Structure 1
Amino acid sequence: MSREIFALKGTICYSTSPTELSITEGGYVVCENGHCAGVFPELPDRYRQIPCTDFGDELIIPGLTDLHIHAPQYTFRASGMDLELLDWLNTITFPQEARYEDTEFARAAYTIFAEDLKKGPNTRACIFGTLHVPATEILMELLNQTGLKTMVGKVNMDRNGSPVLQETSAQASADATLSWLEDTLTKFENVKPILTPRFIPSCSDELMEKLSALQQKYHLPVQSHLSENLGEIAWVQELCPDTHFYGEAYSRFGLFGGDCPTIMAHCVHSSDEEIALMKKQGVYIAHCPQSNINLSSGIAPVRRYLDEGLHVGLGSDVAGGTCSSILRAMADAIQVSKLYWRLIDSSMKPLTLEEAFYMGTEGGGSFFGKAGSFKEGYEFDAVVLNSSTIPTPLKLSPKDRLERLVYLSDDRNISAKYTAGRKIL
């Protein structure tokens, strides 16, 4: 189905605010030229003759957005989970990512990754590749074929990598990035480039200056990591002694929000100053609860971020996280918020289902513009969820069914998926 006008019928569920759900049983959501024309209890006369797919009482929700995932790490999910972040990077991640210099290996691995994303509930994602330009372009090519809307980054790292995974200089990294940008900036319909300094320990000041110049020239978004692990934060302070907090190490190069759309993953241990700057600059936080547990990083104070009005979405952070479904990230976000409330700060109430659902839909989707909602004018991303694979003798409300689907996070529950008005599953 292409970008013509059509309707889906079912139980329509989407966020009207960060704390409220709209649920229309037996309702219709209309797509017109790739955008949502509205949700209706009955089809208006002007839409009576349009094609309509009836999904019965199945739940129809907006597509989900993963704000932080590492494509090359998909191959070793659930490996090295007894290690903390920095040891895990050096022991598992860097040696495995070095393999993507081999384009044959890269194509095989990325084909599996792209197919997994296509069959899951996510319709959009911001994705790390590796520092290898040919492999990153293969990743973009394969993702483009899925119909998913994604942003993909060629990783930059000119220091503190490994003998097999580090660029030879800041200039070499910048030159490779420029070559990649010139080749991919307008090449794909569904995939766009995003600047990707791995994190401050991997990028020299000289490289950050060069990336800043590229950002200003091409007006690109940026993705990186922030305040994930206490050892990492201490390391950044050693590397950047003239900064007061981790985020300032990005901000001094103009790569921390403002006119530069920015995603910072984790923000587990952000200081008051860092939080204030993120709010001022409109930085998006990619909350990655499963990864933060697996790598013993801690629990991000997401309740505070939401209450203070920061932009917060969800990230699977594969392979720190083991599951690419943002349904799973919703459940994990709720669960870790309960631990934060019980064990760390009793004034920080746990997340509700409504809040986690918002973060996984419109909260993260808004980084792409008008995405992640069935509000009129938003791009038409939709996922149809069927709960027949989890039978019960109970008569459940739509919200109860949504909660079960979130917590069970099973790809077998997906009946159909649409991205920007196109049926891709």
Structure 2
Amino acid sequence: MADSATVFHGTFVHSTKEEDMVIHSDMVIGVKRGKIIFIEHETSLPDLMSEYSVPRDNVRHLEKWQFLIPGLVDTHIHAPQYTFAGSNMDLQLYDWLNTYTYPTEAKFKDLTYAMDVYSKVVDRTLKNGTTTACYYATLHRDATNLLLQVIEKAGQRAYVGKVNMDCRTPSFYQETTEESLEETEKFVESTISKKNPLVTPIITPRSIGTSSEELRTSLGQLSQQYQLPVQTHVLETRGDLATFDHLHVWDKAGLLKHNTVLAHCVYMSEVQLDLLRQRGSGIAHCPNSNITLRSGFLDVRNVLAKGCKIGLATDVSGGYSSSMLDALRSASQVSKTIAIQREERGENYKMLSYKELFRLATLGGSEVMGLDETIGNFQVGKDFDAIVVDPLVENSPFDVFSTDTFSDIIQKFLFLGDDRNMIDVFVAGTRASGR
């Protein structure tokens, strides 16, 4: 979008701090230099076009049943693992890591290979409506820089992390503490020097078990020095309960902050959730992965009741799909499974509604990443990260009937739709993907 404003006229659906889903019909949203400059009823359109000198060709009238939603936010995805997404689902976590993941990630020292994989995963996630992603790369700084370059060229918003591991991994895929810190700081400085507001380096100790105390402490200092977000894995399996007091370890290292993204958190205690809320850190809920690797079921209802931040994630390739709509559907199934288990014990359990799931995939994810002042919903002053949804597109995966309400169609899109229905994807006002 150039200097003149662009206007979208029609229906938009988003979440607010107060409501999980709000449907606004007959509205106009003005966008200039990537930011939302007004949101008004359609009756104001002539005056707004005059006030902001909007050319008639810059007004896009959405067709019947089309609507806008905020861009989807994937709070946890392993870019190099995209190579075997949809396969190698026969093992549980730690055997899976040693058998498939570490050997695959070690290949990324080959930059030709890395370019092929990273180009495809970024393209695929954007097609699936992921306007913001929290990526893990590998140990390799050069390949991580390559991922960042691919993201920049594609126009996606992302956190990108060079993975840190200095112990308890195969010798062919491990760094020394000194190498890990030196390479990470070089990556951080080179990324910051680009001054690209869409791409941020994120401090990425892979897990407690694969990072020494010295490395964790030093990374904590690095995150404070450069004021960077943090991501890691926490309490993914029941076996993790026997190792460390996970949150205390991260907190001691200075890595538990308002923009710390903690993946999984399936087995977190009430005390740990309290600490999480106090620090303002958030949970990346990875339901597909937690089922596929047989790790367990995260009780999202309890997390929400404790007042903690939580969003959704694909966790490719532990999760076999790179679609955030799949993450939403998997989260629904997990919630219903927990409801069945509780009801069998005579408990009254409220499963997650489609409106709550929609919020987790959009505004909830932005809160977890500390980006809710910039993205997550449609508000004046925020960046225009958005998807144009068309339920009537040719070869749509679902059908629309004369008796359907708008609420029906939104639900059908969330549970049956796919990238074919996402006819345009915008990041900061720029078209990043579309048909």
Distance, in Å, in 2 between the alignment partners of 1:160 and 1:80 is 22
Distance, in Å, in 1 between the alignment partners of 2:405 and 2:307 is 30
Q: Secondary structure at the match of 2:121?
A: helix
Partner of 1:170: 177
Q: How high is the sequence identity, in percent, across the aligned residues?
A: 36
| Structure 2 counterparts to residues 138-217 of structure 1, below 5 A | 138-167=146-175, 169-187=176-194, 189=196, 190-217=198-225
Partner of 2:137: 129
| Bigger shift: residues 342-351 or 85-94 | 342-351
Distance, in Å, in 1 between the alignment partners of 2:155 and 2:77 is 18
Q: Secondary structure at the match of 1:280?
A: helix
Partner of 2:274: 276
Amino acid at match of 2:286: C
TM-score, normalization by structure 1 = 0.93
Q: Secondary structure at the match of 1:87?
A: helix
Deviations 1:292-318 (A, max 9, x none): 110101110100111222111111100
Amino acid at match of 1:176: E
Partner of 1:250: 250
| Bigger shift: residues 200-209 or 14-23 | 14-23
Q: Secondary structure at the match of 1:424?
A: strand
Distance, in Å, in 2 between the alignment partners of 1:121 and 1:398 is 20
Partner of 2:8: 8
| Structure 2 counterparts to residues 21-420 of structure 1, below 5 A | 21-44=21-44, 45-49=46-50, 50=54, 51-57=58-64, 58-167=66-175, 169-187=176-194, 189=196, 190-234=198-242, 236-237=243-244, 245-258=245-258, 261-344=259-342, 346-366=347-367, 367-368=370-371, 369-388=373-392, 389=396, 390-420=398-428
> Do the aligned partners of residues 395 and 39 (structure 1) sit closer, same or farther apart at CA in structure 2, a change above 3 Å counting?
farther
Amino acid at match of 1:185: I
Deviation at 1:422, TM superposition (A): 1.4
Is the CA contact 2:86–2:321 (under 8 Å) kept in the aligned structure 1?
A: no
Amino acid at match of 2:108: Y
Distance, in Å, in 2 between the alignment partners of 1:162 and 1:299 is 29
Is the CA contact 1:315–1:326 (under 8 Å) kept in the aligned structure 2?
A: yes
Deviation at 1:82, TM superposition (A): 2.0
Distance, in Å, in 2 between the alignment partners of 1:252 and 1:29 is 45
Distance, in Å, in 2 between the alignment partners of 1:349 and 1:255 is 33
Is the CA contact 2:131–2:156 (under 8 Å) kept in the aligned structure 1?
A: yes
Amino acid at match of 1:32: K
Deviation at 1:274, TM superposition (A): 0.9
Distance, in Å, in 2 between the alignment partners of 1:61 and 1:387 is 13
Partner of 1:240: none
Is the CA contact 1:9–1:56 (under 8 Å) kept in the aligned structure 2?
A: no
> Do the aligned partners of residues 165 and 35 (structure 1) sit closer, same or farther apart at CA in structure 2, a change above 3 Å counting?
same
Q: Secondary structure at the match of 2:14?
A: strand
> Do the aligned partners of residues 269 and 398 (structure 1) sit closer, same or farther apart at CA in structure 2, a change above 3 Å counting?
same
Is the CA contact 1:72–1:130 (under 8 Å) kept in the aligned structure 2?
A: yes
Deviation at 1:370, TM superposition (A): 2.5
Deviations 1:49-106 (A, max 9, x none): 5221122120211111111000000010022212111111111101100000111111
> Do the aligned partners of residues 185 and 125 (structure 1) sit closer, same or farther apart at CA in structure 2, a change above 3 Å counting?
same
Distance, in Å, in 1 between the alignment partners of 2:137 and 2:3 is 30
Structure 2, unaligned stretches of length 5 or more? none
Distance, in Å, in 2 between the alignment partners of 1:3 and 1:309 is 41
Deviation at 1:19, TM superposition (A): 4.1
Is the CA contact 1:59–1:398 (under 8 Å) kept in the aligned structure 2?
A: no
Is the CA contact 1:3–1:421 (under 8 Å) kept in the aligned structure 2?
A: no
Amino acid at match of 1:182: E
Segments ≥4 residues shifted beyond 6 Å: none
Aligned length: 414
Is the CA contact 1:186–1:192 (under 8 Å) kept in the aligned structure 2?
A: no
Deviation at 1:18, TM superposition (A): 5.8
| Bigger shift: residues 406-415 or 97-106 | 406-415
Q: Secondary structure at the match of 2:143?
A: helix
Distance, in Å, in 2 between the alignment partners of 1:18 and 1:406 is 21
Distance, in Å, in 2 between the alignment partners of 1:381 and 1:178 is 30
Distance, in Å, in 2 between the alignment partners of 1:186 and 1:157 is 25
Deviation at 1:327, TM superposition (A): 1.9
Query: What's the RMSD between the two structures over aligned residues?
Result: 1.6
Distance, in Å, in 2 between the alignment partners of 1:209 and 1:16 is 37
Is the CA contact 1:64–1:365 (under 8 Å) kept in the aligned structure 2?
A: no
Deviations 1:90-129 (A, max 9, x none): 1110110000011111111111111112212111111000
> Do the aligned partners of residues 38 and 300 (structure 1) sit closer, same or farther apart at CA in structure 2, a change above 3 Å counting?
farther
Structure 1, unaligned stretches of length 5 or more? 238-244
Is the CA contact 2:20–2:358 (under 8 Å) kept in the aligned structure 1?
A: no
Amino acid at match of 1:150: A
Deviation at 1:217, TM superposition (A): 1.2
Deviation at 1:221, TM superposition (A): 0.6
Is the CA contact 1:106–1:138 (under 8 Å) kept in the aligned structure 2?
A: yes
